Chains A and B, each alone.
Chain A
Amino acid sequence: MALSKDIYSAFEDVVGAEYICDDPVIMPSYHSTEFAAVILPKNTTEVQAIVKLCNKYKLQFRPVCTGWTGMFPKGIIYLDMRRMNRIIEINEKNMYAVVEPYVISAQLQAELMKRGLHFNVKGAGTNCSAMLRGHGHLDQTTSGDDRNHLAIEWVTPEGDIVKSGSLGSSDEWFSGDGPGPSIRSILTSAVPPGVTPGVFTKAATKIYHWPGPSRFPIQGVSPNYSLSEIPPNFMARYFSFPSVEKMWEAEIKIGESEIAFELMGFNVSMVAANITTSNEEEAEVFERLNKEVQGPGFFLIIAGNSTADFEYKKRVLQHIISEADGKSLEPVEDPKIEGILLCQCIRISASIRETFRAGGAFSSIPVMSQRDLTIKWAVGAGKAKEPLIKKGLIVDDGGAFFGWGVEQGHLGKTEIFCRFDPQNPEAKKAVEEWHKEQSKRAFNERYFALLMPPSDEIGKGLSNYHVWWDKIKKALDPNGVTPEGGALV
């Protein structure tokens, strides 16, 4: 497990004594695994040198940013990217931003908002890396995941530095595809294993127009924040519908009319988590809100570029909601609640409330496809949660799922999770079984679920992509130094 003195010294020569540690006492803070060492590189040159040493000594490594997820084989080198935390460039004219791995989304977003711009923040939260990959609340208008990737600086598993897209032919970051080498399919693998081997050391992402204030007017003391006023031409509402079909009808029309800044298919359980400051309060509010909704629903933000635009969008919305028999959830119309939801769901600053607060863990199945189809699958997965809820093994959310439109509903993502106490072995086992069964069902019913294993099984259904991926992986990483699994967040 431990590195030999010589190998340790070789890494130490790269980063300095302060930034390599193999003392087992620190390892529990790094995902409770026995790593050979934790190394904190400062720049691309150091990353390249580390990767080359890993190849020389046949050591596996994995880079991680703030890192609340990830699976790690024992004995690997953990690259903590924390010291690479610079915003390299915000190019307002060409609408892109370039960051190193440990810039968190909250920092980049705040800088962008000052400039009348914003970007796609991962649903995982604004506390995560601003670099690449991720879907979330803002997908309706900012798309998500690899659709926002522009040029990337990549240290390959063998330690070469590859500059993709326009960066490959100039010092410009504006395009991921050229002029220069376009290796988008390798660098932005959206299918399992989901992580490009090697290390992204800098990456450019698309940025978008922001019609809101340079900062939200937050008042109060944590955790009781609210907005002193709703920003002009902004509105947040939650609508429930008598059926999934009616909800989908409204969703698609809203997408077609391009009126929503954000369309997040929260269930009321997630609304309750967002607007409350404790577990007890959340349970109470959920019970109350659940009685006020007529069925499934979504949370929506309208943002006008002008008063006229705002009024137009509201009128269209009213028409669509009325046609679909939608009903506004009254408590969300309270400016205090509306304000904090607006802020949290744009800054993506309460994902932890939605996921971890209740029991300490959650297990999720995300499905990327047409919303109307995936919702049908999710209804079944929700029903399968009911016995677990009855036994008190998972948090009662009414068996709900959630999801959102991507690019005004051209695509969509549906997700469902169980929140539970990971210290309870019975709950853990039940959730694992639920996850396995419902993932399998997603595959069998021909939905695309983001499953880790078994990629062989999924691959057969997707043009044997896994065979090609294995070949690419072997070519890129002949020494097998980049283990699969995990995500760089």
Chain B
Amino acid sequence: MGLEQYQGDMAMCCRCSACKFIPMQRVNGYQYANVCPSIARYDYHSYSGGGRLNIGAAMLKSGFNYTDKLLDIVYNCQMCGACGVSCNYAMDMEVLEPINEFRIKCVEDGQTNPALDKVINLLRKQGSMVPTKGKRGDWASGLKLKDATKEKVDVFYHVGCLTSYDKDMQKLAKATAKILQKAGVNFGIAGDAETCCGGRAYQMGYKEDFLNQAKKNMAMIKKAGVKTVVTACADGYQAFKVLYDKYNLKGDLEVLHISEYIDKLIKDGKLKPRKKVDSSVTYHDPCRLGRLGEPWIHWKGKKVPGDRFVFNPPKVYRKGTHGVYEPPRDILKSIPGINLTEMIRIKEYSWCCGAGGGVNESNPGFAQWTAKERIEEAVSTGAEAIVTACPWCEKTFNEAIRDTGSGLRIFDIVELIEKAIQ
């Protein structure tokens, strides 16, 4: 079906421009009213969520005309889903799904971005979205962690490509392992046998590559008899929890982000953050943990003929309402000495870090432009540090902080909890 299934949704776009801004009630001033990095950076209406739908609808009608400008529009989007949240405050229609399908169609038609092709070639050869130096499981050497593919475990910790291979990010894997050990969780990793979740390939439009990865992962999980997967990467979380479910691959697997799991462990009294961590922080919601982390809703139906855009059976839209927003905040509040100050754009209308949708690879300048705006917003709160819950956010912010010379510090939530439980 692809893009065609969203013909009605695309036609519903009334070009109101709500998709460019945070939900109107939440606009608290002149600054930080934008929600879509793409239109904020490139200005033409075509780069907005609505503009993308208008183009999609027109091309379905009159044929696909791939020009350099069109591909520039298609690939300069983090697929962060903020446009959909703002639109869906008022409207009942899909926004991100058709945008996603448009990109998938571009890839299927061979209209790819060379930088993304390079990444996907790496994925096909080495099962990773980032360059591989050494083995995937090297970070765990000496930690004596269980091998979930060989030993019986309750929880499988899927580490993810960036955290596994990037020397600066391996600290997150180690912190996560330490936290789970401290809480007495019977968990394991797949070490060198782990492979990419496929989520970022999906964001880039490479659906088949995503499905290959999803099938590999689910085969391994089934074989290991694991019932619960924990990820500390928002991309991995969305892939396992939402995308695998969308394509009927997830089954009854329980998928938890590490922030949800730690929050549960604290509330169950299995983790006690007692040590004071003096810091004033602000929290950045990763898109794929927040608004795009809400469960997939399986639905099939037909439009009811008549005056309204309604369906039989009624369609329940994913509007970003049920993302993971409170667990990370509850964790931060549970750490003695942490003072949390919120930015203007938070939760379902959070500003993207810039790394999603392949933009990190295809247009690093745009990714950095986006990250710098977030760093500026974080600094405006007076916080000493920005906390996030995804290695991709941390990496992008780190580069922006380095570039701007900002004194802001950055932490993943697992780093703070690791300090608090020492």
Contact = CB atoms under 8 A, between A and B. Distances in A.
B30 A343 contact: no
Given A28-B55, A29-B51, A360-B12, A110 B29 contact: yes
Given A68-B15, A279-B309, A353-B90, A222 B54 contact: no
A289 B17 CA distance: 31
A420 B43 contact: no
Contact of A392 (B46, B88, B306, B322): B306
Interface in A270-328: 277-280, 283
B109 to A, nearest CB: 14
Interface in A85-135: 87, 103-104, 106-108, 110-111, 114, 125-128
Interface size class of B (residues with CB under 8 A): 35 or more
B320 A82 contact: no
A360 B89 contact: no
B33 A104 contact: yes
B90 A126 contact: no
A223 B89 contact: yes
Contacts of B51: 26, 29
Given A26-B46, A222-B88, A107 B307 contact: no
Contacts of A23: 67, 69-70
B18 A127 contact: yes
Nearest to A362: B14
A25 B27 contact: no
A222 B319 CA distance: 7
Contacts of B320: 221-222
Interface stretch (A6-14, A151-159, A421-429): A421-429
Contact of A32 (B58, B306, B308): B58
A423 B11 contact: yes
A25 B14 contact: no
B22 to A, nearest CB: 9
B14 A352 contact: yes
A434 to B, nearest CB: 13
Contacts of A394: 307
B45 A221 contact: no
Nearest to A273: B90
Contacts of A218: 25-26
B308 A279 contact: yes
B50 interface: yes
A216 interface: yes
A106 B27 contact: yes
A357 B347 CA distance: 24
Contacts of A350: 90
A320 to B, nearest CB: 30
A40 interface: yes
B308 A358 contact: yes
A38 interface: yes
A180 to B, nearest CB: 28
B17 A357 contact: no
26 contacts: A28-B57, A29-B45, A29-B46, A29-B51, A29-B54, A31-B15, A38-B44, A40-B43, A80-B44, A80-B45, A104-B33, A107-B27, A108-B30, A127-B24, A216-B25, A223-B319, A278-B92, A278-B317, A279-B92, A280-B314, A283-B308, A357-B90, A357-B92, A392-B306, A392-B307, A396-B307
Interface of B: 8, 11-12, 14-18, 20-21, 23-30, 33, 43-46, 48, 50-52, 54-55, 57-59, 65, 67, 69-70, 73, 85-86, 88-92, 305-310, 314, 317, 319-323, 325, 347-349
